[in-house]
Amino acid sequence: MERARKWVQGVWFFLVNGYMAFPWTRTIYKGPMKVVCSPGLNCYSCPSSTAFCPMGSLQQLLANIRSSIEFGQYYLGFFVLGSIGMFGAVFGRFICGWACPFGFFQELLHKLPSRKFSIPASLNWLKYAVLVLLVIVFPLIFVNSSGMGQPWFCKYVCPAGTFQAGIPMLILDPNLRGAVGWLFVNKLAIALGFTVWSVFASRPFCRTACPLGAFYALFSRWQLIRLQLNEENCTGCEVCHRVCPVEIKFNQTPNSCECVNCMKCMTEACAFDAISVEVAGFPVFGPDLAKTKIRPSLFDGTLRKLRNKNPSA
């Protein structure tokens, strides 16, 4: 299953970054596909991007809303809000684990050999502050004399934009290099910081600073497709805790807002058929115990404890 997920992540990356003519055009794609919303964080200004970023579009919508109202133009952005709302209601953070290019990038970095560290759970709340302040509040209230705001998260923070758009466009268009200043240096430092952090900790940007992940997390309890815990089958062995890339305890918090639905707990850990995938409340996929490959190193200690408690087992 993990190999299949990696293939899906790779396919999604090329689906939303499929414009391969940019080395010759030296500009971003502006064709008909650019009206399609990317489900994951994917910069609009990336020269290969064929879809728009939901967070970037939401910021632009909010940044221009006061100016539009002053001119009698009432653009409510139903397409943008409807797109990300539909993704959240149907898939939730499945998108983070299966279809986000920047999440995929962090996972690849984490595979590099190094000592690994945990991320304090208290830092998980920072991404909600980023969503509320940088994506919603600041673009609305900090405006210029024309009543127009700016996309604060994209402009000052987004590491995906730095790697996908900032650096490539500087390479493609030498005329832009003279405009490089402290703003780009600041964003580059943030991007490099998350890059290094990703080597030592799993998905740090997703867990501490991604506003799109924070938005999708709001649907964790009600999303149409989700992982479900069968409490009757769960033995409390806690093996699922060990394989979780975002360090949640699935058997204790099955609807956690931090779960990216990578399904490792189901396919690599649970030996008791306690976790399944549900669509609208109906189980559609779960581990076949006769075929599931269980790593003895994970289960020897747990099974030994169970046998000690019940020698007849």
Token code pair at residue 239: 């093996």
Q: CA-to-CA distance for 244 and 118, rounded, in angstroms?
A: 11
Q: What strands lie across the sheet with 275-279, from one edge to the other? A: 225-229, 275-279, 282-285
Q: Which residue has the tokens 């580059």?
A: 188
* 112 or 26: which leads in pLDDT: 112
CA distance 84 to 258: 18
Cross-strand bridge partners of residue 226: 278
In this structure, of 76-90, 97-111, 220-234, the range with the lowest mean pLDDT score is 76-90
The percent of residues in the chain predicted with pLDDT above 70, rounded, is: 87
| Least trusted range by pLDDT, from 17-21, 78-82, 246-250 | 78-82
Query: Would you state the pLDDT for residue 280?
Result: 85
Picking from 292, 274, 287, the residue whose alpha carbon sits closest to that of residue 234 is 274
**Higher per-residue confidence, 8 vs 75:** 8
Instruction: Report the pLDDT averaged over residues 37-43.
Output: 90
Q: Give residue-wise pLDDT tens across range 95-125.
A: 999 999 999 999 999 999 999 999 999 999 9
* The total number of residues written for the chain in this structure: 313
> Over the stretch 146-200, which tens digit does the pLDDT of each residue have?
778 899 999 999 999 999 998 998 998 888 887 788 989 999 999 999 999 999 9
**Is pLDDT of 289 > 50?**
no
Residue spans per domain, the chain? 2-217, 225-309
Burial class (CB in 10 A: 0-12, 13-18, 19+), 32: exposed
Residue-wise pLDDT for 230-262, tens only, equals: 888 898 898 999 999 999 999 898 889 999 999
The neighbouring-strand residues paired with 37 are 52
Residues paired with residue 277 on neighbouring β-strands, in sequence order: 227, 285
Q: For position 219, what pLDDT does the model report? A: 92
**Cα distance between residue 214 and residue 91, in whole Å:** 14
Structure-block tokens of residue 222: 């009600």
Read off the amino acid at residue 117. Answer: F
Residue (of 45, 53, 40) closest to 27 by Cα position: 45
Residue 293 has pLDDT above 80, yes or no: no
What is the pLDDT at residue 303? 46
Cα dihedral sign for 252, 254, 259, 263?
positive
